[in-house]
Chains A and B, each alone.
Chain A
Amino acid sequence: DAGVTQSPTHLIKTRGQQVTLRCSPKSGHDTVSWYQQALGQGPQFIFQYYEEEERQRGNFPDRFSGHQFPNYSSELNVNALLLGDSALYLCASSNDRVGTEAFFGQGTRLTVV
């Protein structure tokens, strides 16, 4: 049983560009959450997708958008990249039950230069 998979693992982009990160949730999971983790910080919640809709959102600008597909996989898009967007982007999958543990992918390390 494959766990949560993310692609790519590493990415280097130039300021002002756009990026798309991808996530496939663990089998049997229907909820995908995206987090941004800067070096030495805890993960910061970006948004969560369930039934192909954004269900909850953290304090991130509209440059951050996402999508969930019928097979529950998800994409995170970031437009007009800033240097401060450099971070580890983590995808977590879970079932739609409050308190259910989240399983994380290995993350995508994004570097904006």
Chain B
Amino acid sequence: GQNIDQPTEMTATEGAIVQINCTYQTSGFNGLFWYQQHAGEAPTFLSYNVLDGLEEKGRFSSFLSRSKGYSYLLLKELQMKDSASYLCAAPGGSAGNNRKLIWGLGTSLAVNP
């Protein structure tokens, strides 16, 4: 079956570094997305990985290992505004059609002063 797993909650301190993990099982593979969602708002795109390795984008980096079905989102120099839910998503669907996104439940990150 198709499934995405990520921790439900994490807590970190302002200025620190936090790593949010995601494991996935999808039919075929066409990359992995990370989105940020503040309470009551729509998800916003953070990153997309299709090749193995680390991609850095400012304070946020995303890592992918296709052989392990594993990804993580790394947030550096945490700020209070980073308190949000972080959603891992991968295209999934029947063979030959990978356009719908399969989503994890989201990791709720609380950044404390």
Task: Find residues 46-99 in chain B having any chain A CB closer than 8 Å to their own CB.
Answer: 48, 50, 87, 89, 91, 93, 97-99
Whether A98 contacts B30 by the Cβ 8 Å rule is yes
- What is the interface residue range for chain A against chain B? 20 to 34
**Interchain CB contact under 8 A, A56 and B45:** no
Instruction: Report the interface size for chain B: residues with CB under 8 A from the other chain.
Output: 25
A72, CB-defined interface residue at 8 Å? no
B33 at interface, CB cutoff 8 A: yes
A106 at the interface (CB under 8 A from B): yes
Q: Which residue of B lies closest to A47 (CB)?
A: B100
Given contacts A42-B104, A56-B93, A99-B48, A106 and B99 within 8 Å (CB-CB)? no
Q: B11-55: which residues lie under 8 A (CB-CB) from chain A? A: 30-31, 33, 41-45, 48, 50
Q: Which residues of B contact A (CB under 8 A)?
A: 4, 30-31, 33, 41-45, 48, 50, 87, 89, 91, 93, 97-106
